[in-house]
Structure 1
Amino acid sequence: MTQIRIISASSIAKGSIMKLIGSLTCPYVRKIRIILAEKNIKHEFDVDIPWNTDTHVANHNPLGKVPVLIMNDGKTLFDSRVIAEYLDDLEGAIPASRLIPESGSARWRVKRWEALADGICDATATIFLERKRPDTQQSPEWIVRQHKKIDLGLAAAAMELGGNDWCEGKTITLADIALGCATGYLAFRFPQIEWRKSYPNLTKLIDKLEQRESFISTAPRDYAS
């Protein structure tokens, strides 16, 4: 069960239900929201935009970045990769199946997928922020470099996926979630970038992911919508 609300300075109480702080557009926040949904972990989702002047994110993460997870004991975790590991290790989650293999080569393949997907997100966000600058201050070379990262990242993902149904193993893992968040964020920020025709195997996987309730309920959206 998820409760979504706008965060205030006094809205976090030690010893209360687990809380996730983040925005509705950040792909790293979405990754954690999907994990929480897939594992049916009870929590609240507090919306706080780090770019806003009234943000309280820095009260919980000195780096001023989301996602931030406030655990039941009031202590915080930040960085989506750290939070993902913590949530996957929680006892009593239903279903109990892991999204990150506990050990061995499968674990590191999933973590490599996550790194690749996060890199695509990083490049997409960099282009978005660069284009918000005045035209005279933008760096076309920097934008081209980020586009190349996206192109090469998607090509590598398609090659790695091959004819498999999932990124790793026989069911959904963090690898699929991270990749779905990356392509979803790319489509949200730059819908004019057409990659689906070039990578039909990725398209098949992403279409399957986007039919899951965890993906539907966390689709990125503007705050006015």
Structure 2
Amino acid sequence: MKLTASLTSPYARKIRILLAEKHIPCDLVVDSPWETATSVPALNPLGKVPVLETDEGEAFFDSPVIAGFLEALDIPPHFIPQDGLPAVRVRQTEALADGILDATVLAYLETLRPAEARMQSSIDRQFDKIGRALSRLEEQLSGEFFHGNRISLADVAVGCALEYLDLRAASLNWREHYPRLKAFQASIGERDSFVSTRPPG
């Protein structure tokens, strides 16, 4: 298999962590859709990473879809529960974490605009979304993991989202306001899969 990804993409990092945790061999092709010569649109018409290509040549894109594909391979450990409702709960937490990523990306892109064209109200709106999502996650977390007594896709997604805030929205200082999430990140961030996929710089 082959994964096309940017080293700073938190969506791609989520998949790289799952591959590492499951010990699935996969070639990493570093490609950013922001580069002029990128090959990403040829793989994903939406022009986004990650994209996973199977040995048979089929391409899967969008990180929740790729995560579902990896689970369908039935290679342990499993990161999505087999039962319907527990699986939905894990995927909802993943969606909340991905929503934090979406808002962080939008706010970061706004900061790259020239000062005279930058809309602070747009940045504030995204930061409000992030704050509400973090508050919900803080309330939801009652133990070492978000769902059950072992790591799931929800934990991977939240871990990636929190560290992406450090990279692109450090001014939020989220650790000062969310002690449970702070402890969660300190723990999950020590896993080899997180250490080995941490973005450069």
TM-score interval w.r.t. the shorter chain?
over 0.9
Tell me the distance in 2 between the aligned counterparts of 1:30 and 1:65. 13
| Shift of residue 195, structure 1, vs aligned partner | 1.5
Tell me the distance in 1 between the aligned counterparts of 2:49 and 2:63. 8
AA aligned opposite 2:182: T
Equivalent residue in structure 2 for 1:36, among 6, 10, 19 = 19
Equivalent residue in structure 2 for 1:175, among 133, 154, 158 = 154
Equivalent residue in structure 1 for 2:51, among 50, 54, 68 = 68
Equivalent residue in structure 1 for 2:67, among 72, 78, 84 = 84
When Rg is computed on C-alpha atoms for both structures, the one with the higher figure is 1
Question: Residue 3 of structure 1 corresponds to which residue in structure 2?
Answer: none
TM-score by length of 1: 0.87
Question: Residue 144 of structure 2 corresponds to which residue in structure 1?
Answer: 165
TM-score by length of 2: 0.97
Question: Residue 201 of structure 1 corresponds to which residue in structure 2?
Answer: 180
Alignment: residue pair count = 201
Contact 2:17 2:193 in 1 (8 A): yes
Question: Residue 189 of structure 2 corresponds to which residue in structure 1?
Answer: 210
Give the percent of matched residue pairs that are identical in Structure 1 and Structure 2.
46
| Shift of residue 201, structure 1, vs aligned partner | 1.0
AA aligned opposite 1:56: S
| Map 1:1-225 → 2, pairs under 5 A | 18-91=1-74, 93=75, 96-161=76-141, 163-222=142-201
Write the deviation string for residues 96-132 of structure 1: whole angstroms up to 9, x where unpaired: 1310112222111101100000000001110111111
Q: Moved runs in structure 1, 4+ residues, more than 4 A?
A: none
Contact 2:21 2:77 in 1 (8 A): no
